[in-house]
Amino acid sequence: MAEFNYQNRRDFLKYFVGTSAVLTGFPALSKEVLKSKDISHLTILYTNDLHSRIEPFPTNDPKFANMGGFARRAAVIDSIKKENDNILLLDAGDIFQGTPYFNLYHGELEYKLMSLMQYDATTLGNHDFDLGIENIEKQMSHANFSFINCNYNFSDTCLHDKILPYKIFIKNGIKIGVLGYGIELQGLVDKKMYKNTVYQDPLGITNSTAKLLKNDLGCDYIIALSHLGFKYEEKKISDSSMAPLTENIDLIIGGHTHSFLEHPLKLSNKAGKEIYVTQVGWAGIWLGKLDLYFSYNKKKISHNSNNRKI
């Protein structure tokens, strides 16, 4: 009898240890497994620092000739949607500024196109304030995606009821919590542009927001849209320095430093759990893609395996 129990317990441990091994990156799952009802496949697509790059870079551009462009990115997204329509399309800020489209139309076209492309959410970058906070409010009438930020206090500004601290997206039964935070504006943006927006240290607010999303609101996966920047030589908060101090966040989609990361950086958070930090350069030259496979209905699997083994 003792041996019987031991066997069960060992199988039990093997099962869960096995699952957590998959967590840290197992080879691609087989097609049979992916088709199983117990697996949900979510594709996260992301951009950062689009900087009004509506058209591809011109053919005479010394660095990025013939790359990027909204109409092409939309075509790429269309083709990905044909494979998997369970998609979350996100952006990490600095949509505005960089081409004459912004000088002439003040961001109207950027927001219109991102709405047509069915972006789900963005956060605010410093350059989104370049024509003033009122301009953000004005152009938001062209946007049907969410603006997410939890560390700017907008209560004394025209954006007081327009920015969400977080948003929950339910995709095929999976609850995805998305929060956002931005960089210190003082010294980077003229005060007359950001007016009474108050910057608060992102770490504490982010951790409490993520805890709320995880523990109270039952999110299965938490994404941070960050405009802090990837990494600095000087002592300044960045995605790389903040990630190990966070809890409950699974993925940071960053911006600001225009960092082209070949692969997301895998770090350990405060609780020793893995957290990914990613960023895809700027101007829509790259489109980031992260495929997540969730096993759900876990209760049934456990129950089955339990029955079978006993």
Partner 1 sequence: MITYKIKIFFFSALISLYACQQKTLVTNISETHIIVNENKVDSTIYNTISPYKKLQDEKMKTVIARSEDAFLKADVESTLGNFFCDAVLFETKKLLGADSALVDIAVFNKGGLRNALPKGNITVGNVFELMPFDNELVILKLSGSQVKDMLNKIAEKGGIPIGGMTLVINKTMASNVIIKGKSFDETKDYWIVTSDYLANGGDNYTFFKNAKERKVMNALLRDVIINYCKDITQQGKTLKPTLDGRIQLSK
In the region spanning residues 32 to 61, those forming contacts with partner 1, defined by CB under 8 A, are 39-40, 51-52, 54-56, 58, 60-61
Residue from 37, 82, 299, 308 that binds partner 1 (CB under 8 A)?
A: 299
Closer to partner 1 by Cβ: residue 54 or 179: 54
Distance of CA 31 to the CA centre of its chain: 27
Q: How far is the CB of 155 from partner 1 (least distance, A)?
A: 25
Which 134-153 positions form the footprint of partner 1 (CB under 8 A)? none
* Integer Cα distance of 125 and 207 in angstroms: 20
Q: Which of 49, 128, 220, 239 binds partner 1 (CB under 8 A)?
A: 220
Per-residue tokens: 191: 């005060």
Give, as ranges, the residues between 74 and 93 that touch partner 1 (CB under 8 A): 74-79
Residue 22 as a binder of partner 1 (CB under 8 A): the answer is yes
- Distance, in Å, from the CA atom of 98 to the CA atom of 216, rounded to the nearest integer, reads 41
* Selected binder of partner 1 within 158, 162, 267, 294 (CB under 8 A): 294
Which residue in the set 28, 37, 141, 235 belongs to the binding site for partner 1 (CB under 8 A)? 28
Quick one: DSSP state of residue 282?
S
Residues 172-201 that bind partner 1 (CB under 8 A): 173-175, 187-190
> Applying CB under 8 A, which of residues 81, 86, 105, 137 lies at the interface with partner 1?
105
67 near partner 1, judged by CB under 8 A: yes
Contact pick of 89, 94, 101, 159 for partner 1 (by CB under 8 A) = 101
In the complex with partner 1, which residue's Cβ is closer, 51 or 240? 51
Q: Check residue 213 and report its DSSP letter.
A: I
CA-based R_g, the chain, Å: 21
Backbone angles phi, psi at 262, to 5 degrees: -55, -40
- 168 counts as binding partner 1 under rule CB under 8 A: no
CA distance 116 to 186: 33
* From 87-95, 111-119, 132-140, 201-209, span contacting partner 1 (CB under 8 A): 111-119
Shortest distance (Å) from residue 219 CB to partner 1:
10
Q: Which is nearer to partner 1, 18 or 244 (CB)?
A: 18
- Please report the DSSP string for 129-175 in residue order: GTT-HHHHHHHGGG--SEEB-SSEE-TTSTTTTT-BSEEEEEETTEE
d(CA 276, CA 125): 20
272 binds partner 1 (CB under 8 A): no
CA 64 to CA 237: how far, in whole Å? Answer: 29
Phi, psi of 91, deg, nearest 5:
-140, 145
The only residue of 94, 120, 130, 239 in contact with partner 1, by rule CB under 8 A: 130
Find the binder of partner 1 among 31, 141, 262, 271 (CB under 8 A). 262
**Number of residues counted as binding partner 1 (CB under 8 A):** 91
- 94 contacts partner 1 (rule: CB under 8 A): no
**55: CB partners within 8 A, 6+ apart:** 69, 70, 99
Which positions ≥6 away from 19 have C-beta within 8 Å? 295
The residue range among 67-75, 86-94, 143-151, 205-213 that interacts with partner 1, by the rule CB under 8 A, is 67-75
Judged by CB under 8 A, the residue of 17, 62, 82, 161 near partner 1 is 62
Nearest to 46 by CA among 296, 305, 277: 277
